[in-house]
Amino acid sequence: MFKQVSKTMLGSAVAWGIFSALGTANAAVDTYVVDPSHTFPSFEADHMGGLSLWRGQFEKTKGVVALDRVKKTGTVDIEIDASSLDFGHGKMNEHAKNVDMFDVEAYPTITYKASKMRFEGDKPVEVLGELTLKGVTKPVPLKINTFKCIMHPMKKAEVCGADAVAEFKRTDFNLGYAVDKGFFPEVKVLITIEAVKQPK
């Protein structure tokens, strides 16, 4: 009888310990929803083999970022509307959206997903994720230049913002337009992002 009670008590204690550990782990994770009005992925691409740089940005972005400051890691799940591409030049926009380049009808969405981050101290400094563009998925790390969180006076919630940068070759994503004419394939991506903390 005593042994049976002891086993039952031990089992309950173990179960409670697991439950408490899971609860503590979940409590450490903060979830932030991307603010689309303050989030703009932009990029720089070569024109004519070093003659100049073309700069554009995507106007519509949504997604979720999770941060675990205890374990010093996090996740990123971002979705970009490819048709929201804007160079500030109508004819260039039209050309960039057609089959020569982004082919937005066939590939309307660009995604960036990550399950790992690198922290220095209490701040993330690098995101180790994968970019999916034109149906191709490849690893593209993001370097975080600045990261800051504040209690937003108007939103009445914590808002975190970051400035991040990445580089890749567009030819790796079936975006090889004019490379055979001497255009450089390297692309620099500059990301401004703000995200609002969600209640637990």
Domain count, the chain: 1
Is 2 inside any structural domain?
no
What pTM value is reported for the model?
0.85
Contact yes or no for 130/149 (Cβ under 8 A)? no
Indicate the SS3 state at residue 27: helix
Is 9 inside any structural domain?
no
Indicate the SS3 state at residue 180: helix
Measured between alpha carbons, how far is 129 from 141 in angstroms, rounded to an integer?
Answer: 6
Question: Residue 8, exposed/middle/buried by CB under 10 A (0-12, 13-18, 19+)?
Answer: exposed
CATH of residue 87? 2.40.128.110
Is 1 inside any structural domain?
no
pLDDT tens by residue, the chain, 200 residues: 444 444 444 444 434 343 333 344 456 899 999 999 999 999 999 999 999 999 999 999 999 999 999 999 999 999 999 999 999 999 999 999 999 999 999 999 999 999 999 999 999 999 999 999 999 999 999 999 999 999 999 999 999 999 999 999 999 999 999 999 999 999 999 999 999 999 98
**The domain containing residue 181 runs over which residues?**
29-197
Is 80 inside any structural domain?
yes
Is 49 inside any structural domain?
yes
Is 4 inside any structural domain?
no
